[in-house]
Amino acid sequence: MKRNLLAVSVAVGVLVLAGCEKEPELTTPIQQASYGIGLNMGQSLLQDGLDDIDAQALALGLEDALAKAEHRVGDEELTAAFNTLQERAQERAKSLADEAVQANQKYLEENAAKDGVTTTESGLQYEVLNAGDAEGPQPAADDVVVVHYEGKLVDGTVFDSSVERGEPAELPVNGVIPGWMEALQLMHVGDKWKVTLPSELAYGERSPSPVIPPNSILVFEMELISINPRQE
């Protein structure tokens, strides 16, 4: 039976069960933990776009499961119902992805039109904030560099910052995301750039963190401090 969409509901969770006459207290660790599981369940359902779930029916199913009671809906009906939810979730995900693509395209077009912004063949966009020595060294793909940076989403949310940590990062050029790898090899030591990465030059659909939604454009201010000697 396809229940992966609602796998979180396997956890013991909802406190307001069908037929309860009064709101339960939340004083003991078990009560508080149970409430927390219910919150997590509800938030997961909302993230899946299931904001019209029938809370009373959900509570009734949980109550029957805990009581080991006879199921009120047959397996075939449940399978069909879960398939319907799965299809609806897929449609919602596709719609959100299409909206993100359109919004990203508009953002990149508007950013590319700004004074001082250069767009490379790959689609990477950069603006020189401070220029180092134009005759200075540039990293190669097999170099290790020291960089100060701050990464943001297009709404200004900071998701990573060596500046906030107070210590620059030491990174292999060929070990970073494609947009960074390209930008670093264009920079000279001492350059500080604002770099805008289309999602395909960043993490694409597979985000490494909940802070970074799939298909996100990433905006970095990055300063190339030095190039470490290559290790033969």
Collapse the DSSP code of 137 into the 3-class scheme (helix H, G, I; strand E, B; otherwise coil) and give the result.
coil
What is the H or E stretch that residue 227 is in? strand 218-228
Give 119's strand partners.
Answer: 125
Which residue is associated with the tokens 């090899």? 185
Spatial distance between the Cα atoms of 61 and 76, rounded to a whole number of angstroms? 16
Q: What is the pLDDT of residue 232?
A: 52
Q: What is the pLDDT of residue 230?
A: 67
| Residues 160-194: b if buried by 16+ CB within 10 A, e if exposed | bbbeeeeebbebebeebbbbbbbbbebbbbbbbbb
Domain boundaries, the chain: 4-88, 114-228
Expressed in percent and rounded to 5, the helix, strand and coil fractions of the chain are 40, 20, 40
Domain 114-228 belongs in CATH node 3.10.50.40: yes
Spatial distance between the Cα atoms of 45 and 49, rounded to a whole number of angstroms? 6
Q: What is the pLDDT of residue 22?
A: 67
Q: What is the pLDDT along the chain (232 residues), one digit of tens a residue?
A: 444 444 444 343 443 443 445 677 888 988 899 889 888 988 888 877 777 788 888 888 888 888 889 999 998 998 998 898 888 878 887 887 788 888 899 999 999 999 999 999 999 999 999 999 999 999 999 999 999 999 999 999 999 999 999 999 999 999 999 999 999 999 999 999 999 999 999 998 888 888 898 889 999 999 999 998 765 5
Q: What is the pLDDT of residue 213?
A: 87
pTM: 0.66
Query: What are the residue numbers of the active site?
Result: 149, 159-160, 177, 203, 220
Q: What is the pLDDT of residue 7?
A: 41
